Amino acid sequence: MAVELKDHQQLAPADPVSAAVHLGTARHEGLSERFGATDPEPGLELTRNARFARLVRNRKFQFLLIVPNQVVFWTVIFVGIAGTAIPGLNFGAAITWYVWFCLVFVMMVVVGRAWCAMCPFGGFAEWVQRRTFWRRTQKALGLGRKFPEPLARLGFLIPVASFLVLTWIEEFFNIAGPGNPADTSWMVVGIVSSALIFFLVFERRTFCRYVCPLTTLIGTVGSMGSVAGFRTKDREVCLSCQTKDCMRGGEQGYGCPWYTWPGSADSNLSCGLCSECYKACPEGNVGLFLQRPLTSVVAPRRRRADVAWGIVALWGLVVYQQFNATNAFASFDGWLNRNLHFPHYPNPVDYLAVIGLVALCTAGLIWLISRAVGRSAVTETQHGSFIDRTSRFRSFFVPMAYGLIPVVGADYFARQLPKFFKHSPRVVPAVLHIGGFSSTQSSLYGFHLLSNGWIVVVQVAIILAGTAASAWAMWRITSRELVPVSRNTVAIRLTTLGLVLASGAVAGVLYVLMHAAS
């Protein structure tokens, strides 16, 4: 994590850039103690390699990452509207729902916010905002307003809400079925248009940081990744810097579009891998680092409540998506629609009810754990000269929610596999169909990479791997953060591991019941 709006508010609520400059001067001594000894050491620095460093410093680097995705997604839009109405033969629908979502999850787990570095939605809007593809310009197009601080304080809660709304719309119109390919195109157009509007009204990547439907999912699941992001090399150099070009912007680079300060980064949660801080730093004190997998899950000391609530909300959503593939849910949803006179699945009442119930049950279990083994109503944690005072529930809920990230991420990935294993070969005839060389009679159109039984085996295996990773992460988090505030060491270890195992068991059982339903 890094110093963000809520860390700046007492200094300059409306101007995080000025606040970051002030952080390096008046509060140098306090920050050195608060952000120094407790943060994880950077891992392998990729930018120590001279060739790679020149590549990343080149202003065309980000443009070249984004361009291929721009070509694909504008093709998705055009073909979805103008191409065949058969979903499996329409390249736009096939590439989006059979392949793209799986690839995004692989990138999250391996790299982190890799998708953000090459995102065609934010990339296109940023080109318009900056009025250039790659050059460093001094005046942006648009109003350049700051995002309202009360909304910024909500952090990941707004993008979680937008993700829930977008998912419900997708389910209601059967966009990801996939249904009518034109619906996929119009959904993409809607996301691009929303991004463009926000980029023209607000400064920097406000949309990506505070609104984008995928940012909470990518940020949390991506914390398992092995790319730590852009970090400071020498913390003291960063703390004593008078200009903070990494935040304010310099001759060679823009200020961080994500409003993060590499001088306080202890996770990859909010690093969009845009490399602007690396280009802008006049001291050459920023580098791109690798880390061990799960480091950004386990290592952060300054954990955020909005992230924790975002995790349990995402957990509720993926459990809903599993539950809605069972016969029991179909009967209940149909009964609810008939009685509430709602046209068809998904009924918004059971949609929100299941998500909320899972999230609140998870939070409720953690509350019970905190009451059973927690020491006091208020917990004080010492970080150098900085004392963090939190309620007993928050001191348990926030770190334990972080510990669930691997099993939640594994669940989302496993949920995408039926479409991939059953239908991804259709992308080949879909590409050929653009030129009129293929049809539904193609041998690849009906070819499945795995049978339903084997898909279930793979899904359960992924859940087991995610559960094991969560158990390891939770054990580390418990040892460092929960044992000191608990009355019984054995009890807190057993209960936290029990929560992980119960979550994994729920996901695994639901996949068996679904039997590879898409």
In whole angstroms, what is the distance from residue 168 CA to residue 194 CA?
17
51 is a domain residue: no
Last residue of a domain, one of 163, 178, 213: 213
Q: Please, which pLDDT band fits residue 32 given cuts at 50, 70 and 90?
A: very low
Q: What is the pLDDT of residue 39?
A: 52
Q: How confident is the model over 97-120, as pLDDT tens digits?
A: 999 988 988 888 888 899 999 999
437 is a domain residue: yes
42 is a domain residue: no
- Is the pLDDT at 1 greater than 80? The verdict is no
Q: How confident is the model over 144-185, as pLDDT tens digits?
A: 999 999 999 999 999 999 999 999 999 999 999 889 999 999
Instruction: Using the structure block, give the residue that is written with the tokens 């594994």.
Output: 410
49 is a domain residue: no
Strands 286-290 and 227-232: antiparallel
In whole angstroms, what is the distance from residue 488 CA to residue 475 CA?
15
Contact 178, 86 (CB under 8 A): no
Number of separate domains in the chain: 3
Contact 113, 229 (CB under 8 A): yes
Beta strand ranges found along 215-302 (DSSP E): 227-232, 286-290
Q: What is the pLDDT of residue 376?
A: 66
Highest mean pLDDT among 7-16, 99-108, 408-417: 408-417
In whole angstroms, what is the distance from residue 508 CA to residue 357 CA?
19
Same domain, 430 and 284: no
Least confident range from 161-175, 374-388, 408-422: namely: 374-388
Mean pLDDT across the stretch 113-141?
93
- Is the pLDDT at 33 greater than 80? The verdict is no
Same domain, 127 and 180: yes
Last residue of a domain, one of 262, 290, 318: 290
Mean pLDDT of the chain: 88
Same domain, 126 and 103: yes
Same domain, 277 and 371: no
H or E element in which residue 379 lies: strand 378-383
Structural domain for 361, as ranges: 305-514
Contact 275, 230 (CB under 8 A): yes
Give me the residues paired with residue 290 across strands: 227
Same domain, 257 and 284: yes
- Is the pLDDT at 41 greater than 90? The verdict is no
Same domain, 177 and 238: no
Distances (CA, A) of 117 to 29, 59, 64, 145, 208: 34, 13, 10, 23, 11
H or E element in which residue 383 lies: strand 378-383
39 is a domain residue: no
Last residue of a domain, one of 213, 246, 273: 213
User: What is the Cα gyration radius of the chain?
Assistant: 23
Q: Is 132 helix (H, G, I), strand (E, B) or coil?
A: coil
The pLDDT > 90 percentage for the chain reads 73
Of the candidates 435, 414, 438, the residue with the CA atom closest to the CA atom of residue 426:
438
Higher pLDDT, 301 or 130: 130
Mean pLDDT across the stretch 277-292?
93
Q: How confident is the model over 394-411, as pLDDT tens digits?
A: 999 999 999 999 999 999
219 is a domain residue: no
Structural tokens at position 129:
């905002």
Same domain, 249 and 387: no
Same domain, 282 and 320: no
Least confident range from 214-218, 378-382, 478-482, 488-492: namely: 378-382
Q: How confident is the model over 448-460, as pLDDT tens digits?
A: 999 999 999 999 9
Mean pLDDT across the stretch 342-347?
93
- Is the pLDDT at 236 greater than 90? The verdict is no
114 is a domain residue: yes
List Cβ neighbours of 330 (8 Å cut-off, separation of 6 or more): 324, 345
428 is a domain residue: yes
Same domain, 279 and 394: no
Helices (H) and strands (E) in the chain, counts: 26, 4
pTM: 0.89
Same domain, 278 and 339: no
